[in-house]
Chain A
Amino acid sequence: MGGAGGARLPPFPSLRLVGAPRRDVLYFFRIILRTFEQDGVRGGELLILDRQAEEGMIRHGEEGYPHEVCGLLVGHFEEGVATRTAREACRAVNLNRERSADRYDLDPADFRRIEEEARQRRMEIVGVYHSHPDHPSRPSETDRQGAEEIWQSGESWSYVILEVVGGSVASRRSWVLRGGAFGEEEIRVSPRAT
């Protein structure tokens, strides 16, 4: 699963139900909605993450705080693209220096280099990771648009998002774009198989 979880629940409203029933109804309605969001893992989609790849991403996200960092996950696709195994997290440069706190543009030169190195080792790019400094690990509309430009209606590789709060990774979740919408996928961390 996606780790330490998403945003906190909203604060509980006043228990004084008389006179403020709508706030209480709204509160429970939001809890129900949140439950659906957190249970939104789609069946059959899985990112198997080698522990060293996970540790590499986390280190990168924390070292780069308070800026957004980005990189690529290298490994193998299995069963078509429904399961991805990421062996390594490869750092890339965020070219967006003006808005590095909340945007990233992955350096295409890094993409080429990482893709070529992976190709020579009979691996391929299976995902992208980036950090959200002081922001939940859910894809934004900017993330969705960026992914849709590349994948259109097809099924994407993994998009891992790290929530970094005060310099420490608080959560990491993985998402797959399909039909123009992101759905969460399961992350399973495995020790490095040598």
Chain B
Amino acid sequence: MSSTVRIPTPLRPLTQGKGEVQVLGRNVREALDHLEGQCAGIRARICDEKGELRRFVNLYLNDEDIRHLKGLESEVEDGDVLSIVPAIAGGR
């Protein structure tokens, strides 16, 4: 399945500045594997050492947060859009 990954600005140094990358994979995990194959080092910014999604990263499959689906095992259809969204937080 071919899908598009939207890359936020903080991760674009790893994609030669590209805001979108085309990937293959039947689920989110496979799509991230393929993304890593093209942009070395990017998976470590998205997933922790255990392979789970980092706390400060949200992944949307089309309009749905994958935490509300099947997580990294969520199935990806042809033409889907996977958006990496940084969790922005702070305060005094």
User: Residues of A at under 8 Å CB distance from B?
Assistant: 68, 70, 96, 99, 102-106, 108, 111-112, 115, 119, 124-126, 128, 130, 132-133, 135, 139-140, 142-143, 145-147, 149-152, 154, 156-157, 159
Contact = CB atoms under 8 A, between A and B. Distances in A.
Main DSSP-derived SS at the B contact region: mixed
Contact of B90 (A111, A142, A157): A142
Given A70-B88, A135-B92, A143-B90, A157 B9 contact: yes
A138 to B, nearest CB: 9
The A contact surface, by secondary structure, is: mixed
A125 B12 CA distance: 13
Contacts of B92: 68, 102, 132-133, 135, 140, 142-143
B58 interface: yes
A96 B91 CA distance: 10
B90 A146 contact: yes
Interface in B1-27: 6, 8-10, 13, 19
Contacts of A99: 91
Interface string B43-61: 0010000000011101010
A26 B10 CA distance: 41
Contacts of B58: 108
Interface of B: 6, 8-10, 13, 19, 45, 54-56, 58, 60, 65, 83, 85-92
Given A140-B90, A143-B92, 5 more contacts: A68-B91, A115-B8, A142-B91, A142-B92, A143-B90
Nearest to A131: B92
A134 B49 CA distance: 40
B90 A108 contact: no
A90 B56 CA distance: 21
